[in-house]
Amino acid sequence: MAVGARSGRDEGEERPDDAVKREADEKEGEEDAARPQRSFWKELPLLIGIALLLALLIKTFLVQAFSIPSESMQDTLQKGDRVLVDKLTPWFGSEPERGEVVVFHDPAGWLDGEPTPQPNLAQQILSKIGLMPSADEKDLIKRTIAIGGDTVECKKGGPVVVNGKELDEPYIYPGNTACDDAPFGPITVPKGKIWVMGDHRQNSQDSRYHMQDKNQGFVPVDKVVGRAVVVAWPLTRWATLPVPDTFDQPGIGNQAKAGALGLGASGLAPVGLGTAALGVTGAVPLVMWRKRRLTRGRTAG
């Protein structure tokens, strides 16, 4: 074959395999065009279902919104505020700490007699998925003042004292006192329970007002829903809810020292050098003295 001769097909001539591939691509394109496309409106229910499922999981295991129903936590929280409550850490065994604002289920009829608003159908659905607080659940929100093993007291005209340490409470509602309306203690908080008080002290039916119930005013830890971590609504009041510095002061966690000083009680019964202990201490010398006198009298006789 001479140099420059053609090699069997002209340049640009389509090969058989190229033709087959082009025909296959054209056929696939025709099938895609003929296949009906799923409309947005048909996929919308699926998207909503997934969103609701995620919301339910978040409400159950992560975080839930609660509405503030009263003025008992002013000025920290206002009536109508929405707070987000951490429900995750309790799953890992975390318990409330001093100074935390916590939401808890009614432990012993604290809300008996309080009116319960009747939600409409939309509110019932939204509450089920965690987008609105449930009106059926009777929940309260207060500040944790003392935890299990702590000794707490408050005398009229004085501050709240935890394990011998006075609390500096700037969060108390302006014009209120620490406990003048209902002084208490000293008492020791049982293990597995907490002592709670509202920041609006003279407008809060807290642990102080329920010391005659079955829990003696304490809130069982297993009744705690979680810690309120942020005010989420209204946006103009958005704020976090940190633990006040007074609950981090040195020595406030020294429960053993408070017990050794006799500053405690379980419920309403005094412990340490209480009345019974002092009575026994005084009776022993008298009994020993009387026994010696009787012995001397027999010997002399």
Which residues are part of the catalytic machinery? 72, 142
Which residue, among 197, 90, 76, has the nearest Cα to 143 in the 3D structure? 197
CA 179 from chain center: how many Å? 24
CA gap 166, 155 in Å, rounded: 11
Phi, psi of 180 (to 5 degrees): -60, -25
Residue at 82: amino acid letter: R
Q: Left (φ > 0), alpha (ψ -120 to 50) or beta: where does 192 sit? A: left
| DSSP code of residue 99 | T
Of 194, 218, 193, 229, whose CA–CA distance to 87 is shortest? 229
